[in-house]
Structure formats: C-alpha cells, structure tokens
Chains A and B, each alone.
Chain A
Amino acid sequence: MGAQAQGEGATNMTEAIGIVAAMLSLGTPLVIAGTGEAVLERTGVLNIGIEGMMLAGAFAGFFVCHATGNPWFGIGAAVGTGILLAMVSSILVLGYAVDQVVVGTGINLFSLGATGSLFVAQFGETGRLVSVQTVPKVGGVWALNPLMLIAVCLVLGAWFILKKTNWGLAARATGESPEATSAAGFSPIRIRTQAFLFAGATAGLAGSYLSLAQTNSFAENMTAGRGFVVIAAVTFGRWMPVGASFACLFIALAYGMQFFSKAKDLPVPYQLFDALPYMLALAVLWGVGGGSAAPAKLGIPYRRNQE
C-alpha cells in the first residue's frame, strides 16, 4: 500500500517535471521573439512579419548548420537573416511609411514561399526528414539549453534598457509621441529602426531555436503561427518585456497541459487548454481597464517633415 502510494507520487513528480519541461521547451522561442516584439511595439511599430522572420531564421539556421555541421554558425545565420528581413521591413515601414500590416504580411508570404522552395531545391522534391547537429546542453545534471539562458539575459537586458537608460526613455516616448522625441533631440526614425533590427534579430534567433535546439530539423511552415501567438502575448503582457515573457510562458504551460491531458486521456476536453491563455488575457484586459497601457502611436507611421 505504502509502496504503491510512493510509486504514484513518483509518477506525479515525473509528470509535473514533464509539463514544466514542455513549458520551457515550447516557451523559450516565444519569450525570445516576444522580447524583441515588445521593445519594437513600445516604439510604436507593429511587426506582423515576425512569423516570417522566425520561419526564415529557422530555415537559415538549419541550412547553415547542415552545411557546416556547427549549430552556432547556424544560429548566427538565423540572427543575420532576421536582421536582413527587419532591414527590408524598416526601409518600407519607416522610410516610405508603407502600411505596417501590408509589409508584415508580405514578409510572411515571402518567407513561407522562399523557405519552402529552397528546402525543396536542397533536399529533393519529395523532401527528406533531415536531422542536424544540435546545440550542446549546458549546466551538468540540469542539461539546460544554452538558448534558454540567452532568453533570460535578453528579457532582463531589454527591461533594463527600456526602463533605466536614456535610449529606453526615448524609445518609450517615441511610441507615445514621436514629435516630442524629435523635439528633445532624438531621431524617432533612428530609434524605431534600431528597435526593428533588434526585433528581427530576436525573431531569427527564436526561429533557430525551433530548428536547432528543439527539433534538430526543418519542415515547411514549421513555425505554424507562433509569431502571431507572440504578438498576442505582447499585448497580454502589456507591452513590457517581462510581462510578455510571462504571457509566453503561460501560453506554453497551457500547451504542456494539453499534451499531458491528451497522453493521459483525461476526461477534460484538451481544447480547454488551448483557450485558457486567451481567456486569461481577456480577464487581464478587463481588469486593467482596456488599452491604457498601449503605446499611443502603435501602428501609426511618423513622417519626418510633417507639419
């Protein structure tokens, strides 16, 4: 009887560890991308193209790692690809004041098509399930993924820069009133460009986590909407890197619960766990009283010479 109870306890422990591991594994890419998106949205720019940047990063990382056998080169390539796409987006969005949703959608469609075509060109028309060198684990018995540690550093760094530096103050002001930032001697366009490149780098890094640290492979459209989840999480997290990270982890926890409930065949509909983060997001919105925390100029272009 006692032994049986003990066995039961051990199983529950394993299950709990399994759910937490799933949360960290699924949540890390969301946290990484969410940090960049939160900083960017704070400056007043919405990056719908985050999904495409993640996918392009996932492919670039996979491709370079497959070619060189070194996952760190792959991660570098992924970050570079994210920055490149962010550069194109920022020229259109900030330089020419093209609609942000249109540019972002274009980036998403381009990435989906380009990565699909390149994957087929490289690995044959019928594809191959290819596996690549993985990022080595660190931390001894804990076997942590180094990208998880990078994620934590990113979140804390972004929080510090936004809250404690002059650049952060100017960045937050740009999201509220770029005219005022400009009058104070900062260039809103330059600040938004810098934030955009940072967001692109984090999106690319998040993509490489999917292909190089989590699954060690690539599949067409493997991001499967994670970029849009991140955009939702940033809103849920009230446009703050730390808040957005908790929102991302909460969504990942709901996924982990869902996988657990399906594997255990619990009499709970697994769709409930899918809906859980959004139900909580609605509750948060209701509680804090609407969009008061949203940057006032989110999604609105700034023109240098406007009167």
Chain B
Amino acid sequence: MGRETMKYFCALFAIILSIGCTGGTQSNGTAQDAKPTPAGPIDGPLKVALLTPSSISDSGWSALAYRGLQAIAAETGAEIKNAVAAQAQEAKDLMRSYGQQGFHLVIGHGYEYNQHGIDIGKDFPKTIFLSTSGSQIAPNVGCLRFYLEQAMYVLGAVAAKMSKSGTVAMIGGPEVPSIASTFDAFEQGAKETNRNIRVLRTFTGSNDDVGKAKAQTLAAIDQGADFVIHQANAAAQGVFEACRERGIMAFGTNSDQSAAAPDVVLASAVIVAEPVFVRVAKSIQEGSYQSGIELVGMKDDAIAYVWNPQLLPQVPDDVVQMARTLAQKIREGEIKVTKREF
C-alpha cells in the first residue's frame, strides 16, 4: 500500500468521523435529549415571528394568534413580524429566513409547522420554534396545544340541553384532524347530556367559501337541526346567515363571535392566546424557556366559553348553571374531554 493510498484512507476516515460527529450533535429530535438549554437572558429587543395558515383577517383561528403576537409586542417590547404560509415549502423558507435574521421565537400556528420546526430548527439552535399543536420536540422546538375541546364539550352540552328537535349540527371547513377533534368533543358533551341527541357532522372543504357554508348549514337545518356549531373560520358568516334565515341559534368558535351576529350567536368557544404567548415570550427573554409539549386549557385561562350578553336572558337558569358546573368539573379534571393526537 503506497503512501498516496494511505493518505486517501486517512482523509476518508476523517470525513466519515466528522460526518458521524455532526450527525451525533444533530440527531436530537427525541424527548430524552430535550434537556433545558439555558441560553441566558437576551440582549436587546426580543424578535418574534408568527406564521399562520390563513390570513389574519379570518376573525377566527389565525386572528387569535395575531392578537397573541400583538400582546407579546405590547408586554415585552418585542419586534414582531407575521406572514401567511399555507404551503409547506413557503413555511420552511420563511422559517429559515427568520432563523437567519436572528429571531428568538418563531411561532407556527398549526400542527403542520411542528415538523418544519424539527427540520429547520437543527440549523438555527438559537431560535425557538414553537408550534400551536403537534407532538415532536427538540431542545429548541416546542409545542403549545390549545385544549379548545374543553369549551366545545360545554357548548355541546348546552346545545343538547336546549334543543327541542333533538338534532344539532356541526359545520366544518376542511376535514382536518384539529377540526374533527373539536367536533368529537362537542358530540361527547352533547351525548353525555342527552343520550338520544342526534349530532350531524358535515364539512364543506373550504375555509373561505361563505356560500357553501350557508348552503351546507341550510341542508343541516332541513334535517331538523336547531342548534349549529361551526369550525368554518372566515366562512362562518354563511353559517350565521343560514341560522338567521331559519330563526335558529348558532355557536361561535376560536374567537368571541357574538358581535358578528348578535341575534344568532348564543355563545362562543374561545382560545385566549395572549397570556400563554406572553408567558412563553418572557421565558425566552429571561433565558429560562424549556422546550416541551404543553397542553393549555381552561385551568390556564387559555380556553373559555363566553355567552352572548344579548341572548343570555333567553337561556334558562338551569342551563347556565349546568355550563358553569361542567366547566368547573373540567377544570378540576373530573371530566376528561376527548382530544385526538395529531
């Protein structure tokens, strides 16, 4: 074996060794490795970015995250940026770009951003990638899951208690696990209150097609539904419009939607992102953030149900009392509300 060959072998060995080493430091996607990485307090202003799957003007899912982002800016003086990233590649490019610009926290609003965080997070260890849903973590990738199902359970119970026809309906946008999971909870709440209640489950396939949302709601009302809950985001007005035409009541979701249709929306299941978002941002600012999967619900004041003050007088006292008792039981863990893993 000549000297030249020997040199090549050494070089090859060195390359293999270095690949092995870098591989070792990068393969930290498991829970055991996700030990706290005390980054220390941040000098200068905190930089926070938000990615939403739809426009922040949807009065629902994306809007509530944007309100959380604004709260971070107000409470911590952070520099904020936000963008819509509906496609996977778009989301990855934006996350990479925020990482390069030295953002401290990138919030992806939806479970789809979790995997992107794992992929991109490896290259930007100083940036925390937080997704609101999901189940994978790394030292700088965390999940914050909203237990909206808890409020949906309460509204399901209210619907079942108040329904005269014995039929209630759920109108969804696209058929995705996050929406289906909240419908499971609404149905659970309804069935545990009235075993014989019929719960219709429908999806229009669209978050912005108001016309289809209205037509689908009318079809459900034709089947006898006298209470309707939606998960249609920006298309919600179509659901409310159908209910107004037929003189029945609906529930709002994600945000308090009483103002959208004061004569139709009886109550809303809401996500309050502000306190939780601010808490996470502050912990990153102080350098005490630890990544993990955090499920926030009623006991964290992140989830609530809100009555429409205008229609509340029409609700019997025992229904108001029942809702309060159920919420208390959920808070204390006495009632376990279903939630899908996704």
Binding site for B on A (CB under 8 A): 14-15, 18, 21-22, 25-26, 29, 116, 119-120, 123-131, 210, 214-222, 224, 255-256, 259-260, 262-265
Contact = CB atoms under 8 A, between A and B. Distances in A.
Contacts of A215: 210-211, 214, 237-238, 241
27 contacts: A18-B222, A26-B215, A120-B55, A125-B56, A125-B66, A126-B59, A126-B66, A127-B55, A129-B234, A129-B240, A131-B240, A214-B210, A215-B238, A216-B241, A256-B215, A259-B202, A259-B216, A262-B202, A262-B216, A263-B200, A263-B202, A263-B216, A263-B219, A263-B222, A263-B225, A265-B200, A265-B201
Contact of B234 (A26, A29, A127, A210): A127
A219 B238 CA distance: 10
Contact of B257 (A120, A129, A262): A129
Interface string B220-250: 1011010000000011111011000000000
A223 B274 CA distance: 32
Contacts of A26: 211-212, 215
Among B63, B237, B240, the one with the most A-chain Cβ atoms within 10 Å of its Cβ is B237
Listed from nearest, the 4 A-B pairs whose CB atoms lie closest are A127-B57, A129-B260, A126-B63, A217-B237
Among A15, A25, A215, the one with the most B-chain Cβ atoms within 10 Å of its Cβ is A215
A256 B225 CA distance: 17
B241 A222 contact: no
A210 to B, nearest CB: 6
Contacts of A260: 219, 222
Interface in B241-298: 241, 257, 259-261
Given A120-B56, A222-B208, A256-B219, 5 more contacts: A124-B57, A129-B234, A214-B214, A217-B210, A263-B216
A216 B215 contact: no
Given A131-B261, A220-B57, A224-B209, A22 B219 contact: yes
Contacts of B112: none
B58 interface: yes
Contact of A18 (B210, B218, B261): B218
A224 B212 CA distance: 10
Contacts of B225: 263
Interface of B: 55-59, 63-64, 66-67, 169, 200-203, 206, 208-212, 214-216, 218-220, 222-223, 225, 234-238, 240-241, 257, 259-261
A120 B58 CA distance: 10
Contact of B222 (A14, A127, A210): A14
A25 B215 contact: yes
A144 B200 CA distance: 29
A124 to B, nearest CB: 8
B211 to A, nearest CB: 5
Given A22-B215, A260-B219, A262-B216, A129 B237 contact: yes
A219 B58 CA distance: 8
Contacts of B211: 25-26, 29, 210, 214-215, 222, 224
B56 A126 contact: yes
Contact of A262 (B55, B63, B203, B237): B203
B57 A116 contact: yes
Given A119-B57, A128-B59, A263-B223, A255 B237 contact: no
Contacts of B59: 126-129
Given A126-B57, A262-B202, A263-B200, A216 B169 contact: no
A148 B247 CA distance: 24
A270 B22 CA distance: 50
A218 B202 CA distance: 22
A277 to B, nearest CB: 15
A25 B200 CA distance: 23
A202 B212 CA distance: 21
A224 B63 contact: no
Nearest to A226: B211
Contacts of B169: 263
A222 B210 contact: yes
A21 B218 CA distance: 10
Contacts of A216: 237, 241
A256 B219 CA distance: 8
B57 A120 contact: yes
A217 B206 CA distance: 16
A224 B201 CA distance: 22
A15 B202 CA distance: 17
Contacts of A262: 202-203, 216, 219
Nearest to A259: B219
A116 B201 CA distance: 30
A136 to B, nearest CB: 14
B55 A116 contact: yes
A281 B58 CA distance: 35
B338 to A, nearest CB: 20
B241 A125 contact: no
Contacts of B67: 126
Contacts of A128: 59, 259-260
A224 B174 CA distance: 13
A221 B47 CA distance: 31
Contacts of B261: 129, 131
A127 B60 CA distance: 9
Given A22-B218, A224-B212, A129 B236 contact: yes
Given A21-B218, A263-B222, A127 B63 contact: yes
A14 B219 CA distance: 10
Given A126-B56, A131-B237, A263-B202, A224 B215 contact: no
Contact of B212 (A126, A220, A255): A255
Nearest to B238: A215
Nearest to A265: B200
A221 B210 CA distance: 10
Given A120-B55, A129-B260, A219 B219 contact: no
A255 B216 CA distance: 9
